[in-house]
Structure 1
């Protein structure tokens, strides 16, 4: 199916047959509760079975499905599946072993993650990692769609773009992979036309079934991720940032990536309005690492990059990365990388 971007909102707004079915049930239950049971018995069970529709009132036991990647992507060569979330679908709690990117295109959506309620608005993009219990409900004309991504593709595609910013990359990794409950990342993009346009391009490309679709989808997914980070890396909400006060962990890490040469725990805490002890705890809980570890990783990351890409002397690289003592830098570098800075440069030049 081929649609233009100007027609995309109308396409997404049109009710499907399944949505109409679910809406009729919802309105019957809400407006005519006294005859709702009779209405349920009038439904065609064969139609419900053939369409694989979910009517909780007709089930004998609760439904807590686990969706496997192999089943979801069976006979699908691509790494990405995109689908509209049908309005008025009964909320059901579920888990899966792939990544889900929930995109709120228009309106307001109710979302439950590990039993905690979140209200999502237009422009919100919620990333839900594997094995996270969640549910979603849309009971009006709001519009949302899901981008389902294989776990391996999500990691290779998304985290590849974070290689130059190890602090932010490890924050995301900590949230999405190391936390065991309540995992999520929400980008609040609001009315950003750039993000909206990228989402439309991605969805339309998915619907085209044109040649090289898989390559286009991977590239557009990377573009979405890059734009989210470029324009909204300080508009992130997560299980860790919800209790971090006025400054998000990502905002703090961005500050450190720009000031790692001279940043101290005391001065950085003061900059964000925290006491030193509280800020130290905040960093450790938010990233899984201490303040000093983050600074060391940032310095060594920049040093290794300079060794690979420049001809600067060791003393110049020390000055560039904030190390006052070249001998201390060389000992630390060898302990981390298993070779001296000179050996590291030689190896990467040869390769």
Structure 2
């Protein structure tokens, strides 16, 4: 059942159990530092472990967690997850394998990205790519909403929707294929109600768990990015250095995402005016992967999506994504994922029923 906008606003501003724990912990240290150590020693350690709470005073060493995509999405078959950042959580540096889009829904949030501090205001949208060390500090009633997206989603469904010369396209090309650490992108949207309403609708759709919700979320996120670019492409803060070859590589990747079923090295090279050998080298230098590896990954990502979201037969999916034989598709899929397409579909269906 979907929440109304009013119900959502009550939900997002209400304090959850873990937030209350962290708020009590914060004020115990701030207002009574002389007894804080004793306060921590009297906490319920079993409860802390069960709820996976972070209490720095109870840890003997620093904590730099790495959040693996497979672990986060293991009980989830879609590409997008949303959550509220728990207020008063002790700030801790961490990295993850997926994209994070942090939207400041209300108030002010402090974050540190690769050691550089930033103050994010209401309406700011901060995109943090994989393998980027960052931390978040919220010690008041401010609200930050996190949109977590599988990296593979950018390599298939979302990437092809971006125009080659857009700021987002340049950014995603750089962080996905050049692997430069420390990049980030911040859209300063101010009090743009259109942007925040889009975030609200995304979260409400996510919480509703209605039929075809994953497809709706994918489409809504694409529309969200389009709105950011239409209204705020000139309101961007980033340390990204734009390269002269960025646009051409973006165009190539867009082309491959749109024509992966039939694209060959020679035909694609000819389309862009290169010889096959030069084009092969250009692809390798620009992405770190071969032409065949890129095409394979796009095909498999599309196959996974079809297995999760449709009832098409495996031979039909094989034909849909451009494999000539079912046997070749089955071998390639099992080598990549450790299971057959049928097993993948069964696992995805069982997760949806939970």
Partner Cα separation in structure 2 for residue 122 and residue 192 of structure 1: 10
TM-aligned CA distance change 1:119 to 1:168, over 3 Å: closer
Residue of structure 1 equivalent to 2:212? 212
TM-aligned CA distance change 1:111 to 1:210, over 3 Å: same
User: How far is the alpha carbon of 1:177 from its aligned partner?
Assistant: 4.5
Moved over 4 A (4+): none
Correspondence 1:141 to 2:138: no
Contact kept in structure 2, 1:158 and 1:225, CA below 8 Å: no
Q: Secondary structure at the match of 2:161?
A: helix
Contact kept in structure 2, 1:157 and 1:222, CA below 8 Å: no
Contact kept in structure 1, 2:175 and 2:181, CA below 8 Å: no
Contact kept in structure 1, 2:129 and 2:175, CA below 8 Å: no
- Following superposition of structure 1 onto structure 2, how do residues 66-105 of structure 1 map, counting pairs within 5 Å? 66-105=66-105
TM-aligned CA distance change 1:158 to 1:60, over 3 Å: same
Partner Cα separation in structure 2 for residue 86 and residue 118 of structure 1: 19
* TM-score under structure 1 length normalisation: 0.69
Residue of structure 1 equivalent to 2:223? 223
Q: Secondary structure at the match of 1:146?
A: strand
User: How far is the alpha carbon of 1:176 from its aligned partner?
Assistant: 5.7
Residue of structure 2 equivalent to 1:287? 242
Residue of structure 2 equivalent to 1:154? 154
User: How far is the alpha carbon of 1:14 from its aligned partner?
Assistant: 0.4
- Kindly report the root-mean-square deviation, in angstroms, between the aligned alpha carbons of the 2 structures: 2.5
Q: Secondary structure at the match of 2:273?
A: helix
User: How far is the alpha carbon of 1:167 from its aligned partner?
Assistant: 7.8
Residue of structure 1 equivalent to 2:185? 185
Over alpha carbons, which structure has the higher Rg? 1
1:215-236 C-alpha deviation (Å, 9 max, x unpaired):
1111111111111111111111
Q: Secondary structure at the match of 1:9?
A: helix
1:289-322 C-alpha deviation (Å, 9 max, x unpaired):
17xx96xx59x99xx9xxxxxxxxxxxxxxxxxx
1:48-82 C-alpha deviation (Å, 9 max, x unpaired):
11111110110111111111000000021111111
Q: Secondary structure at the match of 1:217?
A: helix
Contact kept in structure 1, 2:167 and 2:233, CA below 8 Å: no
Contact kept in structure 1, 2:186 and 2:236, CA below 8 Å: yes
Q: Flag structure 1 segments of 5+ consecutive residues without an equivalent.
A: 241-285, 305-332, 340-351
TM-aligned CA distance change 1:203 to 1:92, over 3 Å: same
* TM-score under structure 2 length normalisation: 0.68
Residue of structure 2 equivalent to 1:201? 201
Name which structure has the greater RCO, CA cutoff 8 Å, separation 6+.
Answer: 2
Residue of structure 1 equivalent to 2:237? 237
Residue of structure 1 equivalent to 2:260? none
- Following superposition of structure 1 onto structure 2, how do residues 104-115 of structure 1 map, counting pairs within 5 Å? 104-115=104-115
Partner Cα separation in structure 1 for residue 48 and residue 221 of structure 2: 34
Correspondence 1:30 to 2:30: yes
Q: Flag structure 2 segments of 5+ consecutive residues without an equivalent.
A: 256-269, 277-354
Partner Cα separation in structure 2 for residue 20 and residue 222 of structure 1: 35
Q: Secondary structure at the match of 1:104?
A: strand
TM-aligned CA distance change 1:231 to 1:155, over 3 Å: farther
Give the total of aligned pairs.
260
Contact kept in structure 2, 1:29 and 1:36, CA below 8 Å: yes
Correspondence 1:49 to 2:49: yes
User: How far is the alpha carbon of 1:175 from its aligned partner?
Assistant: 5.2
1:173-207 C-alpha deviation (Å, 9 max, x unpaired):
22565252321011111111111111111000000
TM-aligned CA distance change 1:67 to 1:196, over 3 Å: same
TM-aligned CA distance change 1:177 to 1:28, over 3 Å: farther
Residue of structure 2 equivalent to 1:347? none
